Structure 1
Amino acid sequence: MKKLFFPVLISVLISCNNNTKNALPATIAESAPAINEAKKDSFFPVTSFIRGQIRSFDSLLVTPLHTTVINDKTDSVWIKQNALIPLLKDFLSPEIKETNLTSFFKESSFNDQTLNAVTFTYDPVRTLPDSISLRHWDVYIDPESGKISKIYLVKQLKGKEGNITQQLTWKTNKWAGINTILNKPDGTSILLKAEKFIWNFTE
């Protein structure tokens, strides 16, 4: 990491456990876990962050846009703010809290200069039980502002024709995208559906 912000991240990320119970974290300095390259005792509470983003839908001044791509055909529809919640609720479970998944996943971090982000990445340390559909997640931090810029989650579910992979990309205060992929037993994969929910049109 660059010397400009590395010491700051080290000192401020330690405050995670004291800042996530009641309010949505505004910056990584207020709420994220300490940097560690191995398995840790505390993770950043991703689900609380997403729930906080969802709560902000009630105060939106624009109508969200929902686009769906299936078989290269794109459909778009304007939806009400409260209609967003059930469309995104699948990624609120299993809940990623400070300590509930630390025995199953490890955290690593690095400065991704290609994305201009400090990335915290989480991967399994052992075989996951069937009750945990989560397979991987990343938290991206803007190194200049210290704010969370993006969340990326991967879930895997069992389907009739093979495993179903769901990928969520959450761009803070802007949009969320969900890709649903069928992984067939023969090793081939098919993108079943690509969805995007946009509630900020400034970009």
Structure 2
Amino acid sequence: MPSAEQTSWVILAGGQASRMGGNDKGLVELTGKAMIEHVIGTLSPQTSSITINANRNQERYSQYGSVFGDNIQDYPGPLGGIHAAIHHLDDEWIGFVPCDCPQLPHDLVERMANACSEDTDIAVAHDGEHIQPVVTLLHRRILPKLEAFLANGDRKIILLYRQCNMITVDFSDQPNAFVNLNTPEELQQFGQTL
């Protein structure tokens, strides 16, 4: 089982944001701050190792920390960021969160790490109703499976997870922590509820 200190975390901001009108979701403002600032604000007290996966606006993202892009062209989705992170980072355990999830749990890193055993490949957050496939902690040993999966043209993240020793981590006590904002309308509605 990894300790929280033995994990590195990556904020996934590498998508096309087509539902956000092409605006880079991590840089869209929510209550006067870029959305990624909300994510960093929650993660930074939990871990000292945060990097950002971004394929656009890398210079702007670099003001928030170290940035790397996908190794695979054509925006392969979250799996592209996961693939790039395993190549970019040396850590055995790497966690991932999306850039458009501004209310992540304040105990995310500890709970995810504590749930893992030596044979866990992937731990995925579960809000009590659904798994949250982009809120995950995984062991780098999945890389061969991930590369074969991507080479086959597959992109659906949960299908890869089913090929691995996956566990879910219960966050049913914080179901609203995983609200993600994909459209300008969702962003506006969410901002009004804060």
> Is the TM-score greater than 0.5?
no
| Greater strand proportion | 1
Q: Normalized against structure 1, the TM-score is what?
A: 0.31
Q: Normalized against structure 2, the TM-score is what?
A: 0.32
| Greater helix proportion | 2
Structure with greater contact order relative to length (CA < 8 Å, sep ≥ 6)? 2
Is the radius of gyration larger for structure 1 or structure 2? 1
